[in-house]
Structure 1
Amino acid sequence: MTVNRRTVIGSATAMAALGSMKMTLADSHRKPTVVVVGGGAGGATAARYIAKDSAGGINVVLIEPTRTYYSCFFSNLYIGGFRDFESIGHTYGKLAADFGINVVHDWAVGVDRDAKTVALAGGGAVPYDKLILSPGIDFVNGAVEGWDITSQHAMPHAYKAGSQTELLRAQVLAMPQGGIYAMVAPPNPYRCPPGPYERVSMVAHILKQANPTAKIIIADPKPKFSKMALFEEGWGDHYAGMIDWIGEDFGGGNVSVNPKEMTLSIDGEVTKVDVCNVIPAMKAGHIAHQASLTEGNWVPVNAADMSSKADGDIYVLGDASQQGDMPKSAFSANSQAKICANAIRGALTGSSVFPARFSNTCWSLIGPENGVKVGATYEATPEKIARVDGFISQIGESSELRKETYKESVAWYSAISADIFGA
């Protein structure tokens, strides 16, 4: 079997692919190889930009276990009924066919930093000259008393999109009339700061239509949250009397759950609930910890190129990184990936490297055509990625402006999806 750079590889053929990859390297006078672990907003963007801008001068290998990537960003809109599930799913065929990226559908289970190889669950190891890790998040064990990953079917987190997202929507739609939806919100820092509160808005939207006497409880360990005033304004306008937010000052950080009994305890007061969306504290994806790159829960990186402070040949993007002022968002990961790709091309081929400039925008949908946003620009300093300036939607904006903001977010989703996975 011959496997070339334009082949999409399944885990069952990973060993054959690795053998062919070694021959390809030898036959191409040892072109440098960049291995990317994680095919989301950070990893897939970096793989695409390195491949498309190096004119075949760099072998790019993307390791991603799933054949269809479901984006966490915009998954709340599926929960709220504003998008269908297929619209948030993306495949890797164009990255392979149009950009010559070797896409290996397998789990990366270990990094040998001395040998410069990445081990695969299916067997074998992929050699690299430069390695990019974009593994997203995992959850901190014991972060919510009574909940662990085995409880995710009874009390879904839905913070890794896919079947968990479908499950949470199905549970909400199956709630009895007048039932209770509860969310346990995460502590800082976590993926997508406005995400839990947009989700509450989307759940409230479908309950208002199908189950108008239902109630929503948010147990939150934080004293405030992203776009708080905007969400509270929108909840008052669209879902008056339906949502109770219980913050740190009122016991929101003293929480436990019982998945078997379907109960939530807030500061000792136990409530029987019908749906419990537990979003625990987060940490960098497992492989970052396995590679001994983390300090605490995240990977410290250099702002200029996203390289790990522990290993200059490994770069860490997006949610897993500890980089400074940027939020953990898809827009951030995509922005960081382009800076990283430019730096790696420069290191391996001598091409021009430009000063690092970053940007981010986070849109949220509160109700039908009621979109809000927050964003900023950033620069690299010796200490961190530092915020330069920013913007946020304002209280009391016109319905026309909110509608335009929502339309802007829909256009952005189409554009960033094409930028990540190939137009």
Structure 2
Amino acid sequence: MSKPNLISRRGVIRAAAAATAMFACPVIAKAKPRVVVVGGGAGGATAAKYLRHGSDAIDVTLIEANRRYVTPFTSNLYLGGLKPFETLSFGYEGVAAHGVGLVFDQVAAIDRANKEVRTAGGARLGYDRLVLSPGIDFRWDAVPGYSEAAAERMPHGYRGGAQFQLLKSQLDALGDGALIVIIAPPNPYRCPPAPYERASMMAHALKSRGVKNARIVILDAKDHFAMQTLFIDGWERHYPGMIEWQDPTIHGGIKAVDPKAMTVTTDFETHKAALVNVIPPQIAGRLGRDAGLADDSGFCPVDAGTMASLIDPAIHVIGDSATGGEFPKSGFAANNEGKIAAMIIRADLVGDRRMPVRFTNHCWSDLAPDDAIKNGARYTPQDGKIVMSDPYTSQLDESPQLRAKQAREAAGWYIGMTTDIFG
């Protein structure tokens, strides 16, 4: 008999042992890059969605204080009775469907050193990149006598659904001979034409109800405003003698507001009003300022080519809090910035394709039903700043048919934009 093949047997034993060891040791997969998005408005919700759009290579979490978002853009049409409030409100089911994790909570702190976001509820979320879209805040003390508490009697109506509804209820309660005072802010602020579209829609609402001899006085901090000639022409055609605009050379400055007496005192006179809409000067949202990302302007400087903070490149600041050149603060702009930030982050973290950065902005303003004006431009990054090119604006001699077409364009844009953000 032949002797057993000991070498072969030993080889088998070694091979079996190696196989056992291989299966006993788990393969450790590389963790996905983590991106936290704070703020679920036009900028933040867009960024969260596009970070996951068509790919699950990045772990994305959106932190938002509210379960529904009420769009500031087109809210003036609600004031004018042209849109129901419900059509301004959107949930985040569509964003979640793209694989975005949702945390509904207030952000308590952003720890830049440890790259961590802490919420009021105790959650701690680490990040490789942070997208910050905290919207606007107000310089409450910039209008003498005004405050956050005063906004419950003299609403700003510039953020949050409750403020829009309060302003609407006050407007609907006005009778014959009512005086409305609108205090318009200095630049920069959210949606430059909005205070003047608001005056148009307020006038339309009063005219539609048959309110007689009502007046709207706009006390402006600026000596001119966006599409001024077009607005004034529209006011003269639709609401003759009803809307008066005053620049600082006329009113001399706001000296005080008194919410209890409902008065606004300027250097020239004191207005006793039935409704006062105070739109205070604006700054970046609190989270951007508390995180040390704002400069002396009160806004957060960013690099135009990436939307990355010039103070902390691991954070991309988008939307109304960001400042980086000539790009306006609008829902359209925030949506642009959200997509660009998402593209840059995906390119940096997982090697996705990086396209040339370009921005666009279009803005429609309704003067009356079937009469809308618009302006817009293209923008490109140059030397770290966003620079405007190819601007356009409506003309005074446009036909009623063209103005009606532009009103339909505005309605269509809103549907397309909100679908892109929340769909």
Does the pair score TM above 0.5? yes
What are the superposed Cα offsets for residues 195-219 of structure 1, whole Å, 9 maximum, x if unpaired? 0000000000011122131111111
Deviation string for 1:334-384 (max 9, x for gaps)? Answer: 111111110000010011111110000011000111000000001111230
Aligned counterparts of 1:339 and 1:212: Cα–Cα separation in 2: 49
In the alignment, is the contact (CA less than 8 A) between 1:75 and 1:161 conserved in 2?
no
1:264 matched to which residue of 2? 264
Partner of 1:139: 138
Matched-pair contact (CA < 8 Å) for 2:36–2:60: yes
Give yes or no for the alignment of 1:376 onto 2:377: yes
Is 1:321 the equivalent of 2:356?
A: no
Structure 2 distance, partners of 1:212, 1:375, is 36
Structure 1 residues 64 and 27, CA, compared in 2 at 3 Å: closer, same or farther?
farther
Greater Rg over alpha carbons, structure: 2
TM-score normalized with structure 2 length: 0.92
**1:176 alignment partner, SS class:** coil
* 1:91 counterpart residue number: 91
Q: In the alignment, is the contact (CA less than 8 A) between 1:221 and 1:252 conserved in 2?
A: no
- For 2:147 and 2:120, the matched residues in 1 are separated by 24
Aligned to 2:48: 47
**Aligned mates of 1:28, 1:249 — CA distance in 2:** 67
SS in 2 for 1:353: coil
Alignment partner, residue 212 of structure 1 = 212
Paired residue for 1:124?
A: 123
Q: Within 5 Å, which residues of 2 pair with 1:226-245?
A: 226-245=226-245
CA contact 1:246–1:252 (8 Å) conserved in 2: no
Contact 2:378 2:391 in 1 (8 A): yes
1-structure distance, mates of 2:268, 2:260? 18
Q: Which amino acid aligns with 1:127?
A: G
User: Does 2:337 match 1:336?
Assistant: yes
> What is residue 79 of structure 2 aligned with on the other side?
79
Distance 1:368 1:46, change over 3 A: same
Amino acid at match of 2:289: H
Structure 1 residues 273-312: aligned runs within 5 Å: 273-296=273-296, 297-312=298-313
Structure 1 position 115 matched with structure 2 position 106:
no
Moved more, 266-275 or 352-361: 266-275
2:178 is matched with 179
In the alignment, what sits opposite 2:192? Answer: 193
Specify whether residues 174 and 28 from structure 1 end up closer, same or farther in structure 2 by C-alpha distance, changes over 3 A only. Answer: farther
Q: Please say if residues 333 and 360 of structure 2, whose CA atoms lie closer than 8 Å, have aligned partners that are also in contact.
A: yes
**In the superposition, relative to structure 1, how do residues 252 and 199 fare at CA in structure 2: closer, same or farther (>3 Å)?**
farther
| Corresponding residue SS for 2:180 | strand
Q: Do the aligned partners of residues 57 and 397 (structure 1) sit closer, same or farther apart at CA in structure 2, a change above 3 Å counting? A: same
SS in 1 for 2:240: coil
Residues in 1 aligned to 2:127 and 2:199: alpha-carbon distance in whole angstroms: 43
In the alignment, which residue of structure 1 is the partner of 2:163?
164
- 2:77 is paired with a residue whose SS is helix
For residues 326 and 394 of structure 1, the distance between their equivalents in structure 2, rounded to whole angstroms, comes to: 22
27 and 95 in structure 1: CA distance in 2 versus 1, 3 angstrom threshold: farther
Deviation at 1:253, TM superposition (A): 3.0
User: Mean Cα displacement is larger for which, 258-267 or 243-252?
Assistant: 243-252
- Cα distance in 2 for partners of 1:226, 1:311 equals 33
1:244 Cα deviation after fit:
1.2
SS of the counterpart of 1:244? strand
Structure 1 residues 180-229: Cα deviation after superposition (integer angstroms, max 9, x where no partner):
11111111000000000000000000111221311111110100000100
Name the aligned partner's letter for residue 113 of structure 2: D
Following the alignment from structure 1 to structure 2, what is the Cα–Cα distance between the partners of residues 28 and 201? 59
Deviations 1:385-407 (A, max 9, x none): 11121110001210000000010
Range with bigger deviation, 66-75 or 206-215? 206-215
Q: How many angstroms does 1:268 deviate by?
A: 4.6
* Paired residue type of 1:123: G
Match of 2:356?
Answer: 355
Q: How far apart in 2 are the matches of 1:190 and 1:333?
A: 13
1:27: Cα distance to partner? 8.4
- Alignment length (residue pairs): 395
- Mapped to 1, the partners of 2:304 and 2:138 lie a distance apart of 25
Tell me which moved more, 339-348 or 267-276: 267-276
Cα pair distance change 1:209/1:28, threshold 3 Å: farther
Cα 1:28–1:361 shift into 2, 3 Å: farther
User: 1:181 aligns to what SS in structure 2?
Assistant: strand
Give the Cα–Cα distance (whole angstroms) in 2 for the partners of residues 394 and 172 of structure 1. Answer: 31
What is the Cα deviation at residue 255 of structure 1?
A: 3.8
1:412 match: 413
- Distance (whole Å) between structure 2 residues aligned to residue 145 and residue 29 of structure 1: 56
Aligned AA for 1:158? G
Distance in 1 (CA, whole Å) between partners of 2:101 and 2:254 is 47
Task: Give the equivalent residue in structure 1 for 2:68.
Answer: 68
TM-score by length of 1: 0.92
Report the Cα distance in structure 2 between the residues aligned to 1:100 and 1:234, rounded to whole angstroms: 46
1:398 paired residue number:
399
Letter in 2 for 1:67: R
Distance change >3 Å, CA 360–CA 152, structure 1 → 2: same
Contact 1:335–1:359, Cα closer than 8 Å, also in 2: yes
> Aligned residues: percent identity?
44
**1:30 CA displacement:** 1.6
Q: Show structure 2 runs of 5+ residues with no match.
A: 1-26
Q: Residues 222 and 252 of structure 1 are in contact (CA less than 8 Å); yes or no, is this contact kept in structure 2?
A: no
Tell me the residue number matched to 1:35: 36
Give the root-mean-square deviation of aligned CA atoms. 1.2
Q: Distance in 2 between matches of 1:28 and 1:208?
A: 66
- Cα deviation 1:97-122 (Å, max 9, x = unaligned): x2011111111121100110111011
Measured at CA, do residues 391 and 28 of structure 1 come closer, stay the same or move farther in structure 2, by a change above 3 Å? Answer: farther
The one-letter amino acid of 2:329's match is K
SS of residue paired to 1:152: helix
8 Å contact kept, 1:136–1:285: yes
